[in-house]
Amino acid sequence: MTQPRVLLAFKTALAASIAWFLAPHLPFLDSDYSYYAPLGAVISMYPTLVRSVRTAVQAMAGLAVGAAVAFGALALGAPGVFKVALVVGVGVLLAGWRLLGEGRSWVPVTALFVLLIGGGDADAYSINYLVHVVFGAIVGTLVNLFIVPPLYLRDAEERLDKLRDRVADYLRNLADALDDDPPGDHDWSTDIGNLEEAAGTVRSAVSQADESRKGNPRGRRAGKQVNQDYQRMRALEHALFYVRDLTDLLRRFLTSDSEDGEEDGAGDETAVDSAVVTRELQAAIGAVGELIASPVRAEESADRLQAAEDAVATLSRSLDQRVGTATSVSIGVAASVSLRSIIDVSRPFVADKPSADH
């Protein structure tokens, strides 16, 4: 059970209790319907203030549309069974209206409430129902605003750090796989798929962090941090794109290297040259993995950037000299391009290198 969820549960319970306590004292309304006020508080309580307000407004719109559907059915004066079928059918159709957002599901429910519970006194019932729910939603929004308004910046940063570490570990494991003899049958596609799925979850967390600062007194100075989080997220997504390419290339490289070794013999010059490519490719992938693992603008990031660039440059020089088989050279060239691309997307988060004077 996470701390934000516990806090949300506490605030929702508090808002519902306050709405329940105050609703019977609302002027010009029937206190018999005050039990709808806690419902409004629950409807409006979401992890972020912006979403709380938006959801409350959409819910109110859904309630109003549902009430209108019920009044339309009542005006027809048709048999009860027909009216139930009508309000449910029309309500479900209107629930597909995207403009209502979170309020869509309330259209058929409200239509049924007004029709079946309001009945002959639908006017009074609908007014009491809607106003009490609106009152509860206002209470919920105020509680969410004034009692520890949610801010998810730290959660987004922690998730970004974990994703960064997972990508770095993946690259390290990819480099280690070049030592396997014969090549292992590890399911890399599953691993990269899991990473991409995790990236989607992290992007949602970053979006929630951005949303949580809007209208939040605690988030007035968080714009710079959120912008950096979005930049890190985009960089990691781009890195994952190139990592997937790199994974496919290495799968082909390991297969071709194994086949070449079997055909040419262990002592053949081609086998020796392919080993050079393998060794330098392994070093380059490992160095890029260490670069990815660097925290944002950490002191060691400049040295890791230089090490990664040097390792890829060494690999490129060997490939320019056509060291290795034709297959390993072509795959190595493509791999070096992917590695350089990963380096480029990581560059904005590297610390400035101290000048020689210091």
Which of 37, 45, 44 shows the shortest CA–CA distance to 4?
45
* Residue 281 to residue 269: CA distance in whole angstroms: 18
Distance CA 212, CA 209 (A): 5
In angstroms, rounded to a whole number, what is the distance separating the alpha carbons of residues 179 and 173?
A: 10
pLDDT at 312: 95
The pLDDT of residue 259: 55
Helix H, strand E, coil C: the string for the chain is CCHHHHHHHHHHHHHHHHHHHHHHHCCCCCHHHCCHHHHHHHHHCCCCHHHHHHHHHHHHHHHHHHHHHHHHHHHHCCCHHHHHHHHHHHHHHHCCCHHHHHHCCHHHHHHHHHHHHHHHHHHHHHHHHHHHHHHHHHHHHHHHHHCCCCCCHHHHHHHHHHHHHHHHHHHHHHHHHCCCCCCCCCCHHHHHHHHHHHHHHHHHHHHHHHHHHCCCHHHCCCHHHHHHHHHHHHHHHHHHHHHHHHHHHHHHHHHHHHHHHHHHCCCCHHHHHHHHHHHHHHHHHHHHHHHHCCCCCCCCHHHHHHHHHHHHHHHHHHHHCCCCCHHHHHHHHHHHHHHHHHHHHHHHHCCCCCCCCC
Sign of the C-alpha dihedral computed for residues 208, 210, 214 and 219 taken in this order: positive
Element (H, E) at 332: helix 326-346
- The reported pLDDT for the residue numbered 266 is 45
The whole-angstrom separation of Cα 274 and Cα 78 is 84
Q: Centre a 10 Å sphere on the Cβ of residue 61 and count the other Cβ atoms it contains.
A: 19
Q: Is the Cβ–Cβ distance between 115 and 83 less than 8 Å?
A: yes
- Provide the CB-side half-sphere exposure for 10 (13 A, CA): 10
- Whole-number pLDDT of residue 132: 93
pLDDT beneath 50: ranges in the chain: 262-267, 358
**Distance of alpha carbon 81 from alpha carbon 89, whole angstroms:** 12
Say how far residue 331 (Cα) sits from the centre of its chain. Answer: 33
Please give the structure tokens belonging to residue 41: 């508080």
